[in-house]
Structure 1
Amino acid sequence: MNSIIKSAKLSNTWLKNNAILVTAVRNHWNKDYKPGPYPKTEAERVAAADKYGLHPSEYKPYPDDGQGCGDYPNLPMVSGDSKDPFYPWDNPELKRNFNEPMHAEFDLIREDRYDVSAKLRYPLWVFWAQFLGVMFGTFALYSLLENVKMFHPAIPRQYPSPGKKHYTFERADE
């Protein structure tokens, strides 16, 4: 039992003495990338650019319109499909380098998602015309043919012929 307590104290002492080493290995936390308040002065703007690893001339924050982006940089929309596949990326699966800031819409512009640089085959109005044509065409056919049924709802009633017995309670062998 004594050896366990001694080893715990020793590891605690080692951790306190080597805190700089542990911090250097850790490198950063998620809270380090949480956007701060929108920069109002030039000094705050330079500090925010340094926080995200950008040159002050490259740093442009999102507009302060109440959407909550704060000092996060407004990066250009470049999807993973547009990036060079032969460049030696630090993280080739996502085509990112170490400590490179992520775009606010990163989940949209990844390589397996939407390609913002893709050119549509037809103009957008053609897609809308096709969609609305199918929807309104189906509705028009339904509306016009609602009263013209392809089947009779029920078979006619089976009444006996006049003067003929419909049923009897007598046995057939008598």
Structure 2
Amino acid sequence: MATFRSVLLASKVFRPCITNRSIKTSAVVSNWNKDWKPGPYPMTPEERANAAKRYGLRVEDYDVYADDGTGYGDYPKLPHVSGDIRDPNEDWDLPEIKRNYGEPLHVDHDMIGEDRYNINANPRLSYRTMFLSTGTFLGTLLAIYILTEPYPHFLPVMPKQYPFNNLYLENGGDPAQEKAVQHYTFEPAD
């Protein structure tokens, strides 16, 4: 009975919090990710101009991906610019990721971030040189393995020595047939 009374009292105390949503919870509920989805693919120049305005771009700079069913819709086709290439001394709104507020993200933003793949990098060596170096290294390892295959690839060791005649009785041996095992000798070396 006391438990029921405590639950009834708790329900009376928390009922206003449950029925009346505060401003904080209603603000979270009002923004769904469907509000940030790209719109339909622009077909007319007016739709194109509206989409460019929506993303904060000029109509001349606004270009879209091909309508091939990937679901990009009216999202702008932005150039690949890695985070390493962006100027670190510029006054960014979000300096941690070198980005301004309201700036549209690239479709591959998760791939070309500052701590990931640098698509604008100029490698020190050509790809041909890198592949040849890697192939030479792996080929050398393969040749060493093939040439040394007939030889043992382990450290040679003697069989493990156990006390009490190699634990003959402890392993269930017959006491009448126990033989003495000697792992050492005191004979002088030749």
Shorter-chain TM-score bucket reads 0.5 to 0.7
8 Å contact 1:33–1:52 — kept in the other structure? no
Residue in structure 1 matched with residue 108 of structure 2 by the alignment: 105
Residues 1:130 and 1:59: Cα distance change in structure 2 (over 3 Å): same
TM-fit CA distance, 1:114: 2.4
Give the AA of the match of 1:105.
D
Instruction: State which of 59, 64, 88 in structure 1 corresponds to 2:62.
Output: 59
Give the TM-score of the pair, scaled to structure 1. 0.64
Cα distance in 2 for residues equivalent to 1:149 and 1:69: 59
Unaligned runs of 5+ residues in structure 2 are 1-11, 159-176, 180-190
Cα distance in 2 for residues equivalent to 1:131 and 1:100: 41
Give the AA of the match of 2:35.
D
- Larger RCO, structures 1/2 (Cα 8 Å, 6+ apart): 1
Cα distance in 1 for residues equivalent to 2:55 and 2:32: 13
Tell me, yes or no, if structure 1 residue 139 matches structure 2 residue 142.
Answer: yes
TM-fit CA distance, 1:153: 8.7
Residues 1:138 and 1:32: Cα distance change in structure 2 (over 3 Å): same
TM-fit CA distance, 1:150: 6.1
Residue in structure 2 matched with residue 129 of structure 1 by the alignment: 132
Count of aligned pairs: 143
Residue in structure 2 matched with residue 94 of structure 1 by the alignment: 97
Unaligned runs of 5+ residues in structure 1 are 156-168
Cα distance in 2 for residues equivalent to 1:152 and 1:100: 63
Tell me, yes or no, if structure 1 residue 34 matches structure 2 residue 34.
Answer: no
Give the AA of the match of 2:76.
P
Percent of matched pairs sharing the same residue: 43
Cα distance in 2 for residues equivalent to 1:122 and 1:143: 30
TM-fit CA distance, 1:32: 3.1
8 Å contact 1:79–1:110 — kept in the other structure? yes
Tell me, yes or no, if structure 1 residue 120 matches structure 2 residue 129.
Answer: no
TM-fit CA distance, 1:96: 1.0
Give the TM-score of the pair, scaled to structure 2. 0.60
Instruction: State which of 43, 46, 59 in structure 2 corresponds to 1:43.
Output: 46
Cα distance in 2 for residues equivalent to 1:151 and 1:32: 64
Give the AA of the match of 1:98.
Y
SS in 1 for 2:39: coil
Following TM superposition, the consecutive aligned residue runs of length 4 or more in structure 1 with deviations greater than 3 angstroms are 148-155
Residues 1:103 and 1:141: Cα distance change in structure 2 (over 3 Å): same
Residue in structure 2 matched with residue 74 of structure 1 by the alignment: 77
Residue in structure 1 matched with residue 174 of structure 2 by the alignment: none
Residues 1:144 and 1:97: Cα distance change in structure 2 (over 3 Å): same
SS in 2 for 1:82: coil
TM-fit CA distance, 1:73: 0.9
TM-fit CA distance, 1:144: 3.4
Which sits farther off after the overlay, 77-86 or 97-106? 77-86
